[in-house]
Amino acid sequence: MTARFRRFDVRVALIGVTAVFYALTFAPLYDELGPGVVSLSVVPVALAGWLFGLRAGLLAGAVAFPLNTVLLGLEDGANLDSVVWGGAVAGSAALMVGSVAGTLRDVTERLHAELERRWDVDGSVRASESTLRQLVEHVPAMIMAVAGDGTVTYANRAIGGLDAAQVRGANVYNFVPRAHRDLFRTALERAFREGGETGYEIAGSADEEPRVLHVLRFGPVKKDGHVVATTLLSIDVLDSQS
């Protein structure tokens, strides 16, 4: 027997014991409290609603009407109108209590399920973010996010003797060789102006052969159709091949 079914059996047993206890103690309590004793029938009804939800609460409340009518009839069978009226009033109260308890149970269950779902989603997002962060931090290239004024808002690695945290907030031109700044500025401004990908390559010689030594690519970051920043991918070809 699984834990779920065992829990179900325990809940059913608890409701059954409460209902049986109410029925067995009805007569002696009737002698002390009179017809008002039927108000105690809401206890098993409330339990049913809270443990199993709205449908169970309404079902238990509906059962309370004939149960109370029978119990009242056993104690005051001569006054049929009083018996039926008492059973109806007690049944209505039980239905109300069962519906309230059941609704609270259902709302609580839905809230709990939603919280668990969000927790699972948040956990998956955090795991994905962690994986992505590790990939970006170890990719063999320099990745930056640059604002329109040239301020670095993100860097995935150290550069120029500064770690990634220190690079953020610095001006990107501080890390561009003087000989290439005009080329860099033209490409950066074009990315902001046209909103498309752009870039350039730096050629040179290696192992006495002409070849591309450095590749830079700019990609726009848009918000509401406007370019608010650009991503910069800088690849040192020789370094990435080593």
Whichever domain contains 189, its CATH number is 3.30.450.20
Residues in the chain: 242
**Do both 115 and 152 map to the same domain?**
no
**Do both 109 and 152 map to the same domain?**
no
**Do both 14 and 114 map to the same domain?**
yes
**Do both 103 and 149 map to the same domain?**
no
Tell me if 121 is assigned to some domain. yes
What is the rounded CA–CA span in Å between residue 217 and residue 235? 9
Q: Is the pLDDT of residue 79 over 70?
A: no
List the strands of the sheet with 209-223, edge to edge: 152-155, 142-147, 226-236, 209-223, 198-206
168 versus 50: the higher-pLDDT residue is 168
**Do both 222 and 121 map to the same domain?**
no
Cβ-in-10-Å burial (0-12, 13-18, 19+) of 154 comes to middle
Encoding tokens for residue 11?
């809940």
Mean pLDDT score, 29-36 = 75
Confidence of residue 242 (pLDDT cuts 50, 70, 90): very low
How high is the pLDDT of residue 44? Answer: 83
Maximum mean pLDDT: which of 36-40, 72-76, 77-81, 215-219: 215-219
DSSP designation for 174: G
What is the rounded CA–CA span in Å between residue 90 and residue 96? 10
136 versus 99: the higher-pLDDT residue is 99
**Do both 184 and 110 map to the same domain?**
no
Pick from 74, 96, 126: which residue ends a domain?
Answer: 126
Q: Is the pLDDT of residue 85 over 60?
A: yes
How high is the pLDDT of residue 152? Answer: 92
Pick from 76, 99, 126: which residue ends a domain?
Answer: 126
pTM for this entry: 0.46
Confidence of residue 212 (pLDDT cuts 50, 70, 90): very low
Q: Domain tally for the chain?
A: 2
**Do both 147 and 122 map to the same domain?**
no
Q: Is the pLDDT of residue 115 over 70?
A: yes
Q: Is the pLDDT of residue 118 over 60?
A: yes
Q: Is the pLDDT of residue 98 over 50?
A: yes
